[in-house]
């Protein structure tokens, strides 16, 4: 992979991580609004997948995929604004945190609650591309938790049946809220599950951004060229609680320590340094830029106006 792309991956992951850390800090300081979700530990997936998307592809990220929104061009001001309920937020105060941070002009369908409702919706996007014979792909994400729901299986059945240009990334982050994998399903073999539906399946280290990127890029290209759907299992770990209020005491400390050693941002940085792709100074500069960018976004969002109550009814109908 070319060096500028590898460095770009770091920049996006660092921006995502910085956003996430600042967001968590703000909420802990009581400067947030409502609940929010951290994607800490998921940056390689959200950034790797986001960078693999083509300009005409459409993506429906979930609440751990901040990086995808950013890579796709959603300005951090609009996301922070959304989280603070501001008129300048992506949903204009209508929806919370990463829910509703959608913009079809950017090819983003905002996080669809309830999971895994993004699967059938995204399949519909893929089927629209197929209907019009356009070389485009539709991608979405789900956690291990969402794979046990009926909509997951209904969607994969139809995606396989119609060989839709559909790519699903399963972010296997070990926990559905407080419930570990072994209490969710008999056999957590996601590739096996998807393959019976006639879908290409791949398992990838979800903390290795280059691997995620390459796997997603290949799947998306296959979809665009008429090669049908792919399910990618990206293994990772949810490093914080389900949401900001959740201390996740139910996760064994040892497990978190083990995954901390596999931190996607730290490890990619290490890779760039060890392989002489980038210097410490270059990466430090990117870190500083990320901090400045996020500080500016927070300042913008905190200073932005709240929505006018008179607009309450606007947009219920198209």
Chain residues in the site for another protein (CB under 8 A)? 58, 90-91, 94-95, 99-104, 109-110, 112-114, 117, 119-129, 131, 138, 150-151, 154-155, 157-158, 161, 315-318
On whether the CB atoms of residues 65 and 140 are closer than 8 A, the answer is no
- Tell me the closest approach of the beta carbon of residue 236 to another protein, in angstroms: 26
> Which CB atom, from 94 or from 271, has the smaller least distance to another protein?
94
CA 105 to chain centroid: 18
- The DSSP bridge pattern shows strands 166-172 and 138-143 to be parallel
Q: List the structure tokens of 280.
A: 């410490």
Distance, CA of 63 to CA of 150 (rounded, Å) = 20
Q: List the structure tokens of 214.
A: 């390459």
If you write DSSP's letter for every residue of 95-158 in order, what string do you get?
Answer: S-TTBT--BGGGTB--B-SSTTTHHHHHHHHHHHHHHTT-S--EEEEEETGGGGSHHHHHHHHH
- Tell me the closest approach of the beta carbon of residue 184 to another protein, in angstroms: 20
User: Of 72, 71, 74, whose CA–CA distance to 89 is shortest?
Assistant: 74
- Tell me the closest approach of the beta carbon of residue 23 to another protein, in angstroms: 20
> Which CB atom, from 306 or from 312, has the smaller least distance to another protein?
312
- Tell me the closest approach of the beta carbon of residue 280 to another protein, in angstroms: 41
- Tell me the closest approach of the beta carbon of residue 315 to another protein, in angstroms: 5
> Which CB atom, from 47 or from 106, has the smaller least distance to another protein?
106
> Which CB atom, from 167 or from 283, has the smaller least distance to another protein?
167
> Which CB atom, from 10 or from 129, has the smaller least distance to another protein?
129
Distance, CA of 44 to CA of 141 (rounded, Å) = 13
């Amino acid at each position: 992979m070319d060096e500028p792309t590898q460095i770009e991956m770091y920049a996006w992951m660092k921006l995502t991580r910085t956003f996430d850390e600042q967001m968590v800090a703000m909420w802990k300081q009581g400067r947030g609004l409502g609940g929010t979700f951290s994607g800490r530990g998921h940056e390689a997936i959200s950034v790797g997948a986001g960078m693999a998307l083509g300009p005409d592809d459409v993506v429906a990220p979930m609440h751990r995929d901040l990086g995808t929104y950013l890579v796709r061009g959603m300005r951090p001001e609009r996301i922070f604004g959304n989280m603070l309920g501001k008129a300048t937020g992506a949903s204009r105060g209508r929806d919370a945190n990463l829910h509703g941070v959608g913009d079809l002009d950017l090819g983003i369908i905002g996080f669809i609650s309830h999971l895994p409702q993004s699967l059938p919706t995204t399949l519909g996007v893929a089927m629209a591309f197929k209907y019009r014979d356009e070389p485009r792909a539709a991608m979405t994400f789900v956690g291990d938790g969402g794979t046990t729901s009926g909509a997951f299986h209904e969607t994969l059945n139809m995606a396989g049946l119609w060989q839709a240009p559909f790519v699903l990334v399963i972010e296997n982050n070990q926990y559905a809220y407080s419930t570990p994998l072994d209490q969710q399903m008999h056999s957590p073999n996601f590739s096996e599950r998807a393959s019976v539906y006639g879908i290409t399946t791949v398992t990838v280290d979800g903390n290795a951004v280059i691997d995620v990127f390459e796997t997603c890029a290949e799947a998306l290209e296959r979809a665009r060229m008429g090669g049908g759907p792919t399910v990618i299992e990206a293994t990772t770990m949810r490093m914080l609680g389900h949401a900001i209020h959740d201390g996740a005491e139910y996760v064994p400390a040892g497990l978190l320590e083990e995954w901390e050693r596999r931190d996607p941002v730290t490890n990619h940085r290490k890779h760039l340094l060890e392989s002489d792709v980038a210097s410490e100074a270059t990466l430090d500069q990117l870190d500083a830029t990320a901090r400045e960018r996020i500080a500016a976004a927070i300042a913008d969002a905190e200073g932005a106006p709240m929505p006018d109550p008179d607009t309450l009814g606007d947009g219920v109908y198209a």
